């Protein structure tokens, strides 16, 4: 991947580092890596980043690197690819699979599957998830193929330019039918994994809208303003309407319709749609992942 900028009159007299950071939106970390790898060119010639540029100079940053990926074992695992180009790969993630290896899941992850897929094409790159999904949450997940794309998409998230839309099915009827859940989320004491609503937690905001009402459940659309761990799951439990099938964040009080869990066997949550600006082409991306079969089955049962 080559990023290119033609120096205009306004930037004439600045140095190359200024161009890289302010015109090509490269982070300080990536600028340093390019600098020490001699991957910054001016008019096709490698240059130092303190080189002064003039109008018409062509500055190029070669942001692809050969990388050691030996820490992740390639494994042939089925993937549902909904979009791919030389900059990113976007998957419709299935349930019951972890995104990245951990001490308890060193294999059988999405990262292992992508490593196999890329290595079969002769590509050696690190696995760079832009966001993560819980093991049993399905839907869209994006992996960047280089640092620049990863940093650009994360920056869009931080600047609220990246839209993440989820579909979920919760216990009970949610009123009002459209609203915002603004409750801080923090790590639960004595637990590595669990989160809970706590005044000392991090700012967390989830917008929701009712899509369909059932006698004892509601189909909701969620739009994330922040991206805390387990945010939708914790927020749903916090308002008294936990996701059907969620065993980590069940109803806070016993309810008769907990039997609905058996119809799905996981939290009824799906990453349905993402919208962002492509880091290289600068075009608007709008990607959809269809609702999976187990959630469709649950909805059909609720409609009867």
122-167 pLDDT per residue, tens: 887 887 889 889 999 999 999 999 889 999 999 999 898 999 999 9
| Mean pLDDT of the chain, nearest integer | 91
Residue 117 in 3-state DSSP? helix
**Higher model confidence: residue 238 or residue 72?**
238
Instruction: Write phi, then psi, for 14 (nearest 5 degrees).
Output: -85, 170
Residue 288 in 3-state DSSP? strand
DSSP assignment string, 165-193: EEEEEEES--SSSEEEEE--EEEPTT-SS
For 285-296, letters b (16+ CB in 10 Å) and e give beeebebbebbe
94-109 pLDDT per residue, tens: 999 998 877 777 789 9
> Is 134 assigned a catalytic role?
yes
Predicted structure pTM score: 0.89
Q: What is the pLDDT of residue 72?
A: 85
Q: Which of 57, 78, 134, 202 is catalytic?
A: 134
């Amino acid at each position: 991947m080559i990023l290119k900028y033609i120096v205009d009159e306004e930037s004439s007299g600045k140095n190359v580092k200024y161009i890289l950071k302010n015109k090509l939106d490269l982070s300080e970390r990536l600028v340093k890596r390019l600098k020490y790898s001699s991957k910054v060119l001016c008019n096709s010639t490698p240059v130092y980043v303190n080189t002064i540029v003039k109008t018409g100079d062509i500055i190029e940053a070669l942001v692809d690197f050969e990388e050691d990926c030996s820490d992740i074992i390639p494994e042939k695992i089925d993937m549902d690819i909904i979009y791919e180009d030389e900059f990113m790969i976007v998957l419709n993630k299935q349930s019951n699979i972890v995104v990245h290896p951990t001490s308890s899941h060193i294999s059988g992850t999405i990262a292992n599957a992508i490593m196999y897929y890329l290595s079969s094409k002769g590509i050696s790159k690190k696995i760079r998830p832009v966001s993560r999904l819980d093991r049993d949450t399905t839907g869209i997940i994006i992996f960047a193929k280089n640092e620049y794309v990863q940093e650009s998409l994360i920056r869009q998230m931080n600047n609220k330019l990246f839209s993440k839309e989820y579909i979920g099915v919760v216990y009970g009827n949610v009123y009002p039918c459209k609203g915002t859940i603004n409750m801080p989320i923090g790590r639960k004491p004595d637990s590595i994994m669990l989160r809970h609503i706590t005044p000392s937690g991090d700012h967390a905001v989830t917008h929701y809208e009712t899509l369909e009402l059932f006698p004892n459940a509601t189909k909701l659309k969620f739009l994330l303003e922040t991206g805390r761990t387990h945010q939708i799951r914790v927020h749903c439990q916090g308002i008294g309407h936990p996701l059907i099938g969620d065993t980590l964040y069940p109803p806070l009080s016993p309810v008769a319709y907990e039997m609905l869990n058996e119809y799905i066997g996981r939290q009824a949550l799906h990453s349905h749609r993402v919208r962002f600006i492509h880091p290289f082409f600068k075009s608007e991306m709008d990607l959809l992942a269809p609702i999976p079969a187990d959630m469709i089955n649950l909805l059909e049962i609720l409609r009867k």
